[in-house]
Amino acid sequence: MENNELNVLWCYPDMLNLHGDRGNIMALKRIGQMLGLNVNIEKVESFKKQIDFDKADILFFNVGEIRIIKSIVEALKTQKEGLDKYIENNKMIIAIGTTGAAFGKKLIKLDGEQIECLGYLDMECNQREMVYGNDIIFQLNEYETLEINGNQIQMIDIKTNSVSPLGTVSYGRGNNGEDKGEGAKYKNLIYTTTLGPVLVKNPWYTEKLIKTAMETKGVSIKKTIPDIDFEVEKKSMECIKKYNAEKEKK
């Protein structure tokens, strides 16, 4: 692999295809190119296909339906040795929306079924009776000055235990509407409940993620994308924040 290559494995795109979040893949490619990288996107299309962990810089799991979680867990358990090594070596996984439950400890469904998940994130997920939808704005706990916005279509409540939340909510529900936590993070396994697509709406975070993934394989990217290139997205977030502030007054 060349030093200027970013290799993204897009996992199960035909099954994890809700809410237009394939835009996240487009964002990784576009921002990667702006940083001077050759971005290679390869699909892992079948649960039966073995993942080439040595090839991947980022494993990407978009949002899917709750009924798919069990299949994801079963598929990845057959490759757990490679997945364990990948995660412990600080290589990056991004999981969006309900799909992130697969990387937690347990998913409890409304019909009473309990799915023992992969266990990398110390969190328990419970299917909700009603779907929650709203905007969300949060600060990344790792980069306190970095603010993220998007929306939620929440089908699960998430209780994090020892695992650190990805961020702290300033507007919206987050994991459960109680503790202000949003998502979860262990090493470079990143889970967010935020849709949008989140990497399209927050290209400054996409830039951070790409640089982190490249640093893991020993490549330091010195180039920084000018703020003016993200002007539309920043103005959009300010409009959303203003709208939500007015909404809260009513």
The answer to whether the CB of 141 falls within 8 A of the CB of 166 is yes
- Average pLDDT of the chain is 95
What is the residue type of 92?
Answer: M
Q: Mind listing the pLDDT tens digit for each residue in 112-163?
A: 999 999 999 999 999 999 999 999 999 999 987 899 999 999 999 999 999 9
pTM: 0.96
* pLDDT tens sequence across 42-56: 999 999 999 999 999
pLDDT digits (tens, 9 = 90+) for 159-188: 999 999 999 999 999 999 999 999 999 999
Q: What is the mean pLDDT of residues 185-212?
A: 97
Contact 4, 210 (CB under 8 A): no
* Residue 224, pLDDT above cutoff 90: yes
> 237-240, long-range: CB within 8 Å, 24+ apart, which pairs?
237/137, 237/147, 237/149, 237/201, 237/202, 240/135, 240/137, 240/149
132: DSSP letter: E
**Tokens at residue 202, please?**
């927050």
- Looking up tokens 């399209």 gives 200
Q: Which residue has the higher pLDDT, 239 or 248?
A: 239
Reported confidence tier of residue 2, pLDDT bands at 50, 70, 90: low
- Per-residue pLDDT for 250 more than 80? no
- Tens of pLDDT, residues 64-100: 999 999 999 999 999 999 999 999 999 999 999 999 9
Q: How far apart, in whole angstroms, are the C-alpha atoms of residue 53 and residue 126?
A: 30
What is the number of domains present in the chain?
1
Domain enclosing residue 30, as ranges: 5-249
> What CATH code is carried by the domain that includes residue 180?
3.40.50.880
- End-to-end alpha carbon distance in the chain: 55
